Amino acid sequence: MMETVMALKITRRAFIATGAATIALSYHDRGWTQTWPSRPIKIVCAYPAGGLADTLARVYGEYLSQKLGQPVIVENKAGASGSIAAAAVKQSPPDGYTLLLAITATLVQSRVLFKTLPYDADKDFALISSMSAGYLPLVAYKATNATNLKEFVEYARRNVTNVGTFGAGSYPHIVVAELNKQYGLQMKAVHYRGEAPMWQDLAAGVLQAAMGSYANAVNALESGVGRAIAVQTRTRSRKLPDVPTFFEQGAESELFAMTGYVFLAGPIGMPQDIVERVSGLMVEAGKTDKIQKLLASYGIDESAQGHVAFRKLYDSETPPLLAAVKALGLTPE
């Protein structure tokens, strides 16, 4: 009986001590997140200065700085499709002071394109916000005389057809593979390192079509060198309202509606309060006139989404996109 009473006393004492410690820890954590940020925040951008990812990092970072009262510094760590930057952020303390800005490939395509990665896309990052990378028009060279997808498919049935993409495993590469699959074509995807040389080759007639961002395709479109015949998205682009989507023209795969994204994330274990705060500010920033005008210049119709929408996008699109990249049969580096 005495042993039972002692056990009950010890258990009760331990329970009270544990509860007190939990409450103390809770207050400590809450106090810490309420004082965040108390020093500069760093956004590690996975791509070079001057590109879309860098531009978004800086313009959204400027808004975060204004609202949080601390400098937001953008550090460019380019290379290996974002793997270098992702590894650096993964190894950083999950305290909200080091964030990663990269693109879809860093989370998805890189799993196929590289034999090993220094991070686990599913487990190593706290997703904060996603930003549309813009719609991708398929532009047919003027000599094809194609004005829509049906006419381009008929041209490709009768002629050798080379389609430019901005990289192996990219969305345009997947589109070429899906068109070949659905229509029984043998178009060849020609990969470039970046879009500038690709559009130059289209203008020279080396390519019969090319697919990339609106911002980089606009010169070919305005000069009459090429004509946009389809857009990879679920709804038409505001910049190209007369160009039907792939879906509208009978292309069946869900992959024809997927568009890439730029994303903001932190190391896993980052306090949820901070995730939600930064997420909310990203959504706010995307509604400002400055960012709306910037996005319009890139042909991007959608501004930043919060962490809940980003998680839903990531969970729904990653499996089919990953399967599509694997089906390309690429040899990993």
Given pLDDT bands bounded at 50, 70 and 90, which one contains residue 16? very low
How far is Cα of residue 190 from the mean position of the Cα atoms in its chain?
A: 23
The pLDDT value given to residue 285: 98
User: Could you read off the pLDDT of 242-269 as tens digits, one per residue?
Assistant: 999 999 999 989 999 888 999 999 999 9
Q: Which residue has the higher pLDDT, 27 or 66?
A: 66
The predicted structure's pLDDT at residue 170: 94
User: Residue 12 pLDDT > 50, yes or no?
Assistant: no
Better-scored residue on pLDDT, 74 or 17: 74
Q: For the domain bounded by 136-257, which CATH number is listed?
A: 3.40.190.10
| pTM, rounded to two decimals | 0.86
Name the more confident of 41 and 27: 41
- CA 56 from chain centre, in angstroms, equals 12
Model pLDDT for residues 205-254, shown as the tens digit of each residue: 999 999 999 999 999 999 999 999 999 988 899 999 999 999 999 998 99
Average pLDDT, the chain: 91
In the chain, domain spans: 39-133+260-326, 136-257
The sign one gets for the Cα dihedral 79, 82, 85, 86 is negative
* Lowest model confidence (mean pLDDT) among 16-20, 145-149, 200-204, 208-212: 16-20
Q: What is the pLDDT of residue 8?
A: 41
* Mean pLDDT on 299-326: 96
**Residue 69, C-beta contacts closer than 8 angstroms, at least 6 positions apart:** 37
Q: How many whole angstroms separate alpha carbon 153 and alpha carbon 61?
A: 43
Same fold across 39-133+260-326 and 136-257: yes
- 39-133+260-326 CATH fold: D-Maltodextrin-Binding Protein; domain 2 (3.40.190)
**What's the pLDDT at 23?**
42
Going through the chain in order, the beta strands assigned E by DSSP cover 41-45, 72-76, 98-103, 125-132, 136-141, 162-165, 188-191, 209-211, 226-232, 261-267
